[in-house]
Structure 1
Amino acid sequence: MALKLYGLPMSTNTTRAMICLHEKEVDFELVPVNVFSAEHKQPPFLSKNPFGLIPVLEDGDLTLFESRAITAYVAEKLKETGEDLIRHKDAKEAAVVKVWTEVESHYYDPAVSPIIYEYFVAPFEGKEPDKSVIDTNVEKLKKVLDVYEGRLSSSKYLAGDFYSLADLNHVSETHYFMQTPYASLINERPHVKAWWEDISSRPAFNKVVGGMTFGQSQE
């Protein structure tokens, strides 16, 4: 039975899961959820995720929500397939992967997500972007990226000289961030820039990037 992923390609959280599935070269069905008509807030979807957020993964009788939990599950279940995203054969490397996946969740995402929201989502909803929110989080992100620059000066990727879940979890949000006026925060840090150019050029991401068109005209 093919895995089912409920979500939308423009969603950073959905594409985070999709990238992982593509890295693992596994067949899956993307089931569109019309968030614009609030389908994700209706009982059929709430039975899958009571918090009413995409994505949701179904694997037989298992239903998962939260994109990082989904990527962790896929990486573990299919650890012998495709890229080894969790370094399951080396306990020390696996521990470092976990550290940097936590860093993404607790430091990077809380800084970059509000910037993306204000730049893309607020105008889409007819709101003026809140510059004070952007400015506050730009300062937070600078500090995080300074740490990344130091880390990436001694290793090619965040957890070591190997691509892992720690890097993958950054890709979808960073893609949108790089289309904002604040992309210089990454471009002016040479090791972070090289890292981003590397992880954003992988075939798995190239399979989903065409659908990441939130807030942009589609021609």
Structure 2
Amino acid sequence: MAVKLCGFVPSNATFRALVSLFEKDIDVEFVKVHMADGEHKTPEFLARNPFGQVPVLEDGDITIFESRAITQYVAHTYTDKGTDLMMKDPKKLAIQSVWMEVESQKFDLPSHKLTIELYFNVLRRGREADEALIAEFEKKLVDVLDVYEQRLMESKYLGGDSYTLVDLHHLPNLHYMMATRVKRLFEARPHVCAWAADILSRPAWMKIVSILTSEGYV
């Protein structure tokens, strides 16, 4: 029976979970949640995720929500399939864990704020840019990218010398930001720029781009 992922296009959290399944070559049934109709607030959906948010993964008798929890479940459960997304050596895994925390605690907030403002509000909805908000979160993002540039001078990927969940977790926000003026912040840092181009060109992410294209988001 296929793994089922309930999500919403163009939710970055949904795509974070979905791309992990694609990296593992797992047969997945993608079930669209119609959030505009309030489907995520129905009793049936709340039984899966009491917070009424996407994505939700169902795999046999287990149901998991929160995108990063889903990706870790996928990586640990399907170790024999597809791309190895977790380090095996305990010390390397510890380093990977550090950078996974950096993504969730340092990168996610400014990148998410800039994605919502510049991609969805300005580019998609045609609203006037909130320049004060953009300046605030560009500064926060610059601080993170400066650290990333130094890190990527030492290793090819953020978690080490191979592509892992650390890099995968960046993909949705990174994809949207590269369609906005924030792209210049990545291009100004050669190692960050090369890393971004590398992970955004992965076949698993290209499947996500195909979904976005079919839904009119590219």
Question: Structures share a fold, TM > 0.5?
Answer: yes
Distance 1:35 1:129, change over 3 A: farther
CA distance in 2, matches of 1:9, 1:122: 16
> Does structure 1 retain, via aligned residues, the 8 Å contact 2:157–2:195?
yes
> Does structure 1 retain, via aligned residues, the 8 Å contact 2:55–2:65?
yes
**Which position in structure 1 is the counterpart of 2:100?**
101
CA distance in 2, matches of 1:163, 1:217: 26
**Which position in structure 2 is the counterpart of 1:66?**
66
CA distance in 1, matches of 2:38, 2:23: 30
**Which position in structure 1 is the counterpart of 2:181?**
181
> Does structure 2 retain, via aligned residues, the 8 Å contact 1:157–1:167?
yes
Q: Of Structure 1 and Structure 2, which has the larger fraction of its residues in helix?
A: 2
Distance 1:126 1:194, change over 3 A: closer
Distance 1:129 1:216, change over 3 A: farther
Spell out the pairing of 1:44-83 with structure 2 (5 A cutoff).
Answer: 44-83=44-83
Runs of 4+ residues deviating >4 angstroms: 123-128, 213-218
Displacement after TM superposition at 1:5 (Å): 0.1
Distance 1:11 1:214, change over 3 A: farther
Aligned partner of residue 169 in structure 1, secondary structure = helix
CA distance in 1, matches of 2:84, 2:217: 36
Distance 1:217 1:140, change over 3 A: closer
**Which position in structure 2 is the counterpart of 1:115?**
114
CA distance in 1, matches of 2:214, 2:14: 13
Gaps of 5+ in 1: none
CA distance in 1, matches of 2:191, 2:115: 22
> Does structure 2 retain, via aligned residues, the 8 Å contact 1:11–1:212?
no
CA-to-aligned-CA distance 1:64-103 (integer Å, 9 cap, x gap): 111000001000001122111111x311111111111111
CA distance in 2, matches of 1:121, 1:43: 29
CA-to-aligned-CA distance 1:113-151 (integer Å, 9 cap, x gap): 011111233356786442211110000000000000000
The answer to whether structure 1 residue 206 and structure 2 residue 210 are counterparts is no
Displacement after TM superposition at 1:213 (Å): 5.4
Distance 1:59 1:217, change over 3 A: closer
Identity value in percent: 48
> What amino acid maps onto 1:175 in structure 2?
H
CA distance in 1, matches of 2:174, 2:120: 15
Gaps of 5+ in 2: none
CA distance in 1, matches of 2:215, 2:134: 17
> Does structure 2 retain, via aligned residues, the 8 Å contact 1:121–1:215?
no
Distance 1:24 1:215, change over 3 A: closer
Displacement after TM superposition at 1:45 (Å): 1.2
TM-score normalised by the chain length of structure 1:
0.93
RMSD value, Cα = 1.9
Distance 1:35 1:120, change over 3 A: farther
> What amino acid maps onto 1:166 in structure 2?
V
